[in-house]
Amino acid sequence: MTARRTETRLALFDCDGTLIDGQASICEAMETAFAAHGLAAPPRNQVRRAVGLSLPVAVRGLLPHAGPEVQRAVVESYKQAFRAARVDGRLAQPLVPGIREVLEALHESGWVLGVATGMSERGLRHCLAENQLSDLFATLQTADGHPSKPHPSMAETALFDAACDPRDAVMIGDTVFDIEMAVNAGMRGIGVDWGYHPREDLMAAGAELVARQPADITEYLLS
């Protein structure tokens, strides 16, 4: 897809680790999924490093020596554990403090907002609705319809939806997968250091800025 050159500016956000902090729920669901198949759960730091990838890709990385059938079974068990946590009211996905103000400021300034995430569409929509953010986003790209990051498919589709040239767009995320996707799509990349990957890794991946707090994003993009 080729985006048309317009005055549109697109700010594309990752979700978990950037907009919300869901690491406790992710780690707990992964531990439950591994236990369901008699497997020792990986250390939580390894799980956190895999956040941002689509679930099947993340599980393959966490279970590199297991066969495809085992990997697929763990993926399904993870989905079931995560879904059960949501139904039971145990799912914790709070907004990062200060991020709502960033989104509202960009939206009011005429930026088109979007999300590109390794979450499922159902999971993303639930998360945005729970945090009362649904109305702010014009394009939602999830793992349901795309290859895993850092493949540029999510970013390219968001650019097309927004009728935005890559040079007028920025990807904002907390993992190297987000920044590498931005680079692969010809977009700028901004990292955040309250998520899953460290500042130095984000800069090495090509981020032009790593925000220390959400307000840094607003200041950088609106100055």
Q: Which domain holds residue 112?
A: 10-21+94-222
The pTM is what? 0.87
CATH of the domain at 70: 1.10.150
Kindly report, residue by residue over 132-167, the tens digit of the pLDDT: 999 999 999 999 999 999 999 999 999 999 999 999
Peptide bond into 150 cis (omega under 30): yes
Q: Are residue 155 and residue 211 in the same domain, yes or no?
A: yes
- pLDDT, tens digit (0-9, with 9 covering 90-100), for 47-95: 988 988 889 999 999 999 999 999 999 999 999 998 898 888 888 889 9
pLDDT for 3 beyond 50:
no
Lookup: tokens for 11 = 């700010």
Long-range pairs, 25-31, Cβ under 8 A, ≥24: 25/82, 25/85, 25/90, 25/91, 25/92, 25/93, 26/51, 26/82, 28/81, 28/85, 29/78, 29/81, 29/82, 29/85, 30/62, 30/78
Task: Give the end of a domain, one of 87, 105, 135.
Answer: 87
Examine residue 31 and state whether it is found in any structural domain, yes or no: yes
Q: Are residues 109 and 128 in the same domain?
A: yes
Looking from the CA of 16 toward its CB, the CA atoms found within 13 Å total: 29
pLDDT tens digit sequence for 86-132: 888 888 889 999 999 999 999 999 999 999 999 999 989 999 999 99
